[in-house]
Amino acid sequence: MDLDALGTGAHLLDGEGRIVAVNSWAERLLARPAAELVGQDAHDLLHRDRQGGTLPRTQCRLRKAILAGRTEQTTGEWVERGDGSLLRVSWLATLCELGDARQATLVLYHPESAGQPASRLWGAGAPITELERLALLAEATTVLAAARLEVNETLERLVDLVLPRLADWAVVDLITERDEVWRFAVAHVEDDEVVRREDLEGAMPPVPEESPMPLSRALRGAASAVTGPETYQGPPDSGIAVEQRRLFEETGMHSAIIAPIRGPREVMGALTLGRSEQPARFTAADIALLEDISRRAGIAVENARLYQGQRRVAETMQRHLLPQMPYVPSLEMTVRYAPASDASQVGGDWYDAFALADGATALVIGDVVGHDLDAAAGMAQLRNMLRAYAWGRQRPPSKIVEQLDEAASHIAEVSMATMIFARLELTDGGRYALSWTNAGHPPPLLVTHDGIVQYLTGGHGVLLGVEPAQARSDATMTLPPGSTLLFYTDGLVESPSRSIDEGLYRLRREAAALAHRPLEPFTDKLLNRARAPGNDDDVAVLAVRVPYRHGPSESVTRRPAGG
C-alpha cells in the first residue's frame, strides 16, 4: 500500500497498536523520522491530553476502535511531536488488508490547529480514490453532525469541506424559513485560503415552478445534474437563470455540478461545485459523492434550524421568568443573564431581589439541577415559593430556606437545586449588615473598594432536595463602605476546560483588578473575563454595591428592570 499517495498523515498499526509503517506526511506532521515511529506503541508514543499528560488507555477512542476492529472518526485529539510540542488532530481509523493477508488498521489524520480542514490536505486535481471518498464522507458526517451548530456555521463548514479537493468553487443557495432563496456563499480558494465573493451573494429571485434549468430543479428537490455555462446561454426563463449566467461569467467555471440539499422533511437549498482551474470536467460519477455530502448537509441544516428554534423558545422563556429588580435608593444593583451556547442547557439559573416587609432587601441566586425547559419551570416555582415564605416574616434566612426545602419536596417539580438566600439591611449605625444561608451554591464574593477580595464561605449547607428536614445555619457580616457583593452561578467559574478551583481563582483575581470600576462596567467586564472559553452552561449574576455613606433608611420602591 502506497501510504504517500493518500496525501495526508497516515500510519499502519498491527493488532497490538504498534506502528508498522508511516508515510512522509506523518513524518512531517509529527516531526519524527520513520525510524523513530516504526515499532513503537502509537498510543504511548503519541497520544496526549490537552495539557500534554499521558492519555489513559481507557479514554482513548482511537485505541478502542482499533481493538474493536471498527471504523471510527474522532476529532479534537492531541499528539506529541518530536520537538515536544502538542498538535491537535482528527483521526480516521479503518481496517485494511496487507499484501500478505495480514490485517492492520489504517489511521489517517490531519491537523486541526493548522486551521485547514482535511479536505484541503488531500491535494486537488487527482482522481479521488475509494479510500479518500470514504474518508471524506466520514469527515462530512463528523463535521456536519457536530452538536450546537448554527445554520451559518454549518454551511461554512460545508464550504470548507469541499474546497479545494472537489472543486475550485462552491456555491450554497439556501431556502429560508420564509421560502425565499438566499445565496449564502460563493467561495473559491486563493493561496490555500477560502475567499468569499460577497458581490455574488445575497437575495435571489423566486424559484420558478416549471423551469427545467438545473438550479431551479435542484431547489425544487429534483435530481442532481452536471451543467456548464452553455446551459445558461440561451434566453433566460427566470430571474434565477439570469443570476446563474452572471455566476458562470464572473467565476469562469467551465463545469459545474448542482445537487439539492434535502433535509428529512423538506428541501433546504442547493450545493453547486464548479471548476475553473482544474481542467477535468465533472462527470456523472461525481454526482453520487456530492449527493452523499449534500444529504448529510441537509440533515445538519435542519437540525441547526431546530436547535435555533428551541434555543429561541428556551431563552425567551428564561428571560421572561427572570424578575425585575427593585429600586433601592441607597444601593446600586445590577444583574446579568448569559444564556448557554446550547439550547438544551438553558433553563436552571436564576437571580432575584425583592423588598421585605421590614425594609430589608432579599437577595437570591440559584440553580436548579438540570438544563432544559423543565428546569426553567422548576426555577420559577422555587422563586415564587421563596418570595411567599420570605415576605412579612422577620426570620433568619436559614429558617426561610428550611421551610422552602420541606415544601418544595412535596409541591415543586424540582429534584435538587442550589441557592443562596440573603437579607441586606441598613443598621442604626449607618452600615449595611448581610445575613445569609447557602444551600450548596458557590460562595458569594465580596470586593472592597481597595481591591481586597474574599469568598463568603459561611452558612453553607446541603442542596435543596437532599435532606429537607436538616437544619441550616446562617452567617452574618457587616459590609465595608463602598464594597461590592457578587452572587453568581457555577457557569461563571466552572467549565470542561478547567476545574472550579481554577475558576474561583480567576474570578477573584479579575474582580480585584476591576474594583474601582463603576458597577455596570465592573459586572460586564467580569462576566467576559472570568467566564471560561467554550463554557456551555448558562450564567446568572447579581451584583450589589453599598455606598460610602448612608443616610436615614428609605422605603423601597420599584422601577423597570435593568439594574
Q: Helix, strand, or coil here: 364?
A: strand
CA gap 507, 536 in Å, rounded: 18
269 near 261, Cβ under 8 Å?
A: yes
Which of 144, 147, 167, 156 lies closest to 196 in space, CA to CA? 156
- Would you give the distance in Å from CA 479 to the centre of its chain? 38
Mean per-residue pLDDT over the chain, rounded: 82
Residue-wise pLDDT for 68-100, tens only, equals 766 676 777 889 999 989 988 878 787 776 655
- pLDDT tops 80 at residue 126: no
- Render pLDDT for 185-233 as a digit per residue (tens, 0 to 9): 999 988 778 899 999 999 999 998 888 999 999 999 888 889 999 998 8
Contact residues for 350 (Cβ-Cβ < 8 A; gap 6+): 321, 322, 364, 365, 366, 367, 368, 379, 380, 383, 540
Cis? peptide before 481, omega within 30° of 0: no
Q: Can you give the pTM of this predicted structure?
A: 0.51
Indicate if the pLDDT at residue 115 is higher than 50: no
Tell me the sheet residues that pair with 226. 257
Examine the pLDDT at 504 and tell me if it is beyond 80: yes
Residue 55: partners with Cβ closer than 8 Å, 6 or more residues away: 43, 47, 48, 49, 78
What are the structural domains, with CATH classification, of the chain? 1-115 (3.30.450.20), 126-310 (3.30.450.40), 322-549 (3.60.40.10)
What pLDDT sits at residue 560? Answer: 37
State mean pLDDT over 258-272: 89
Q: DSSP string of 56-82?
A: PGGG-HHHHHHHHT--EEEEEEEEE-T
Of 30-34, 203-207, 272-276, 302-306, which range is least confident?
A: 302-306
- Tens digits of residue pLDDT in 302-334: 877 776 666 666 556 555 556 677 788 889 999
More confident residue, 296 or 312: 296
The residues pairing with 9 across neighbouring beta strands, listed in sequence order, are 109
Number of Cβ within a 10 Å radius of residue 400: 20
Reported as type and span, the H/E element at residue 308 is helix 284-321
Segment (H or E) for 460: strand 460-461
- Residue 27 has a pLDDT of 92
Which cell numbers hold the place of 29? 506532521
Q: How confident is the model at residue 7 (pLDDT cuts 50, 70, 90)?
A: low
**In Å, how far are 132, 186, 425, 489 from 550, measured between CA atoms?**
73, 63, 12, 30
Q: Would you say 472 and 398 are in contact if contact means Cβ atoms under 8 Å apart? A: yes
More confident of the two residues 128 and 66? 66
Checking if the pLDDT of 10 tops 90, the result is no
| 3-state SS string for 159-191 | HHHHCCCCCCEEEEEEECCCCCEEEEEEEEEEC
- According to the model, what pLDDT value does residue 343 have? 47
Backbone φ and ψ of 467, nearest 5°:
-140, 80
Beta-bridged to residue 495, according to DSSP, are: 498
CA angle 43/49/51 to nearest 5° reads 140
Angle CA(463)–CA(468)–CA(469) in degrees, nearest 5?
130
Highest mean pLDDT out of 3-7, 336-340, 520-524? 520-524
Per-residue pLDDT, 520: 94
Listed range (20-24, 95-99, 130-134, 532-536) with the worst mean pLDDT: 130-134
Task: State CA 502 to chain mean position distance.
Answer: 21
pLDDT category, 244, cuts 50, 70, 90? very high
pLDDT, position 410: 80
pLDDT of res. 114: 41
Instruction: Compute, in degrees rounded to 10, the torsion defined by CA atoms 62, 66, 67, 70.
Output: 110
Q: Alpha-carbon distance 431 to 551, whole Å? A: 10
Query: In the block, which residue shows the cell 477535468?
Result: 280
Contact 375, 563 (CB under 8 A): no
Using DSSP bridges, classify how beta strands 326-327 and 557-558 pair: parallel, antiparallel or unpaired: antiparallel
Cα–Cα distance, 258 to 74 (Å, whole number): 30
Q: Answer yes or no: is pLDDT of 438 > 90.
A: yes
Report the 10 Å Cβ neighbour count for 453.
19
